[in-house]
Amino acid sequence: MALPPSLKPLIVAGNPDAPHTLEVFLDYVCPFSGKFSRAIDNHIRPLITHGGKYDGKVKVIFRLQVQPWHSASTLTHEAGLAVLRVSPENFWPFSCQLFDNQEDYYDIPTLDLTPRQIRAKLADLAAKVIPPKAVEHFQDILTPKGHLNGGVAVTDDLKYNIKFARQNGIHVSPTALWDGLVANEVSSSWGEKEWSDFFAAKVKS
């Protein structure tokens, strides 16, 4: 449930000081993760913010779950972390944009694209959400520099997310943790009733 201070914007819903934590491991190019991202806004957020029944009691952390069998997964997650760096308040809006356009980054649509071309597409997508002055910084962050195999400016942030998932035995997306334990019952197909029932069972007044 811990986060480095620089990654605090990964708390995408609820009060950061809330006593309960729902952690969701999502991959930007996983269709079920896309469904889950929409559930966060449509079903979970109304329950845990703005006077909802569990306002102040639950927070949601988005854990970036890179799945390397999808060739563009690493590049999309780097883009999310770059937005988090240059425009943290727009990290979740960008993530939602990326989930809504995730098919553009599936295996076949990106088959003949180079990493440079994919990053350019991601920059165009980011430009729809982040301030114009931040776009150049976003592109600079995703430009490899220095050592021939040193990655980009957010590689260490990416490593943190991958290592966190590995040490917790997370293998697939989406996976949900409630207060640090895997909640196998959680489904990306859940609607308002299922989430209401889940919180009613888990959150004790």
pLDDT per position in the chain (205 positions), as tens?
689 999 999 999 999 999 999 999 999 999 999 999 999 999 999 999 999 999 999 999 999 999 999 999 999 999 999 999 999 999 999 999 999 999 999 999 999 999 999 999 999 999 999 999 999 999 999 999 988 999 999 999 999 999 999 999 999 999 999 999 999 999 999 999 999 999 999 998 6
Do residues 65 and 137 lie in contact, with contact meaning Cβ atoms separated by under 8 Å? no
162, containing H or E segment: helix 155-167
- For the chain, the structural domain boundaries read 5-198
The CATH number that domain 5-198 falls under is: 3.40.30.10
pLDDT given for residue 80 in this prediction: 98
pLDDT given for residue 69 in this prediction: 95
pTM: 0.96
**Burial profile 109-124: b = 16 or more Cβ within 10 angstroms, e = fewer:** ebeebeeeebbebbbe
pLDDT given for residue 1 in this prediction: 66
- Tell how far CA 38 is from the center of its chain: 12
For residue 21, the tally of other CB atoms under 10 A from its CB is 18
